[in-house]
Amino acid sequence: MDVLTEQLGRRPGKVIAVHLSYRSRAEQRGRIPAHASYFMKASSSLTGEGDVVRPEGTELLGFEGEIAAIIGTEARDVTPSQGWSHVGWVTAANDLGLHDLRAADRGSNVRSKSGDGFTPIGPALIDARQVDQRGLRVRTWLDGTLVQDDTSAGMLFDIGALVADLSRVMTLEVGDVILTGTPAGASVAQPGQVVEVEVSSVTDESLTSGRLRTRVVSGAPLAPWGSPAEVDDKQREDAWGQAPERADEAPAFELTDELRQRLLSVSVATLSAQLRKRGFNEVSIDGVRSLTPGTKLVGRARTLRYLPYRKDLFAARGGGYNAQKRAIDSVGPGEVLVMDARGVDDAGTIGDILALRAQLRGAAGVITDGCARDYALVADLDLPVWAAGPHPAVLGRRHIPWETDVDVACGGALVQVGDVIVADDDGPIVIPPDLVVEVLEAAERQESEEEFIVEMVRAGESVDGLYPLGPTWRPRYEAWLAAKSH
């Protein structure tokens, strides 16, 4: 018996699971949803600690460590700001699924996810009133090795918003379970392996579910009638959480510490010139300036999109834990939050409190083609910010915070999540990730040549044939470079 059934004296009525809710998982899957989507699991799949059976002849029993939110008071037509108050408890859950049967139900997950014992929860319940819905940590171990570690701050949709969304169409009853999605790292467990999941408070480790332990065992094969179990490379990729290795595929781009330092050492003007040589003329974010001149910035883009103010839509999407706050609350170390404010220069889009939150989360900076409120206070923070200028008005004067992590237009430039942003006093530019190394190396060569040119000009030489460096001067440059390297 699971801990919830024991406490309620009956089995919960509904188990509702979220498809994608963690940014880390969404990025792993290559798509970031604008809204949550769900599937149902049979309440008979609920269990506590113990064994789970992988039928003989199947291959892919997937595990997903999750935070289970359990309804404590009935919820119908509640708002996102009210949603969390209807959660009575949280605990650990393992959203197990047999990927071999996914093709049988084409997205409904009826058989692949609802097997007996496929929803272990527990072992202890945490009173939701004692924790912050954005301050929960979920960790998963496979045979003692930590394979998942994330917090609810990394969720695309907070738990209260999930409750509100579901309550638009159904009554959530006491004991109903919402499995709030899994972060990156979910994978496959083999017979004999043990999966453990723990949910705890980020700020108080004594508030914990304890480790939920599930051992995978082999069992009898599935009966021969009905849709057969089947797998292909796509199913294996989804289940294992990674694509099959291919020698002909280049590794994904990573903005390493070395690349960051090298990008910081060259000017945006030089990088812009090299991008222009390659036909990229619309990569500068125009109309913005640094709040703290002399500051440089390098990071990977996250995005926030504002739409024009409209009274009815602002009432629905502008208040509470809106897209602006979600974006600030999820921006990570080394990331740059790029705001598409449509170039509107008579309303604020960032203020001191949210800028402080971004700084404390380790953000590399914020760029908005709208305005900054509390301009001097934001400028005093240890957070590089580029904005169109100062303005005292709140964003509700002109904007609705609409959505996060979508393609945006900021200052005339198209910005995608993961683009590399470099900024200095000349302004910010956007570099497509697959061009970073090529453009950087060319920029470093250009700046080396220009250092030589400046030295020659100071020595009284004419710029004719020297700037840009022509064939007459190139041998002298090569000799100068060789001498400098010794």
pLDDT digits (tens, 9 = 90+) for 176-204: 999 999 999 999 999 999 999 999 999 99
More confident residue, 468 or 309: 309
Higher confidence at residue 229 or residue 81? 81
What confidence tens digit (pLDDT) does each residue in 31-65 have? Answer: 788 899 999 999 999 999 999 999 998 999 999 99
Mean pLDDT (the chain) is 92
Close Cβ partners of 109 (under 8 Å, ≥ 6 residues apart): 17, 39, 40, 41, 97, 102
Which amino acid, residue 235? Q
65 phi and psi, to 5 degrees?
A: -70, 135
**CA separation for the pair 371, 391 (Å, rounded):** 6
Considering the chain, tell me which residue range(s) the CATH 3.90.850.10 domain(s) occupy.
3-240
Which of the following CATH numbers is that of domain 3-240: 3.40.50.10190, 3.90.850.10, 2.60.200.20, 3.60.110.10? 3.90.850.10
Which class would CATH give 284-431? alpha beta
CA torsion sign for 306, 307, 313, 314 is positive
pTM to 2 decimals?
A: 0.56
Please give the pLDDT value at position 105: 78
- Between CA 32 and CA 22 the distance in angstroms is 9
342: left (phi over 0), alpha (psi -120 to 50) or beta: left
CATH 3.50.30.40 residue window(s) in the chain: 284-431
| 255 neighbors 415 (Cβ within 8 angstroms) | no
68-93: per-residue pLDDT in tens? 999 999 999 999 999 999 999 999 99
> What is the per-residue pLDDT for 475?
87
CA atoms lying within 13 Å on the CB side of residue 267: 11
**pLDDT for residue 245:** 42
Residues of the chain with pLDDT > 70, as a percent, come to: 97
Measured CA to CA, the distance from residue 61 to residue 428 in angstroms comes to 46
Structure tokens at 76: 């119908």
Residue 206: count other Cβ atoms within 10 Å of its Cβ: 7
Express each pLDDT in 236-285 by its tens digit. 877 887 644 443 445 578 899 999 999 999 999 999 999 999 999 999 99
DSSP 433: G
Give the pLDDT confidence score for residue 83 in this predicted structure: 96
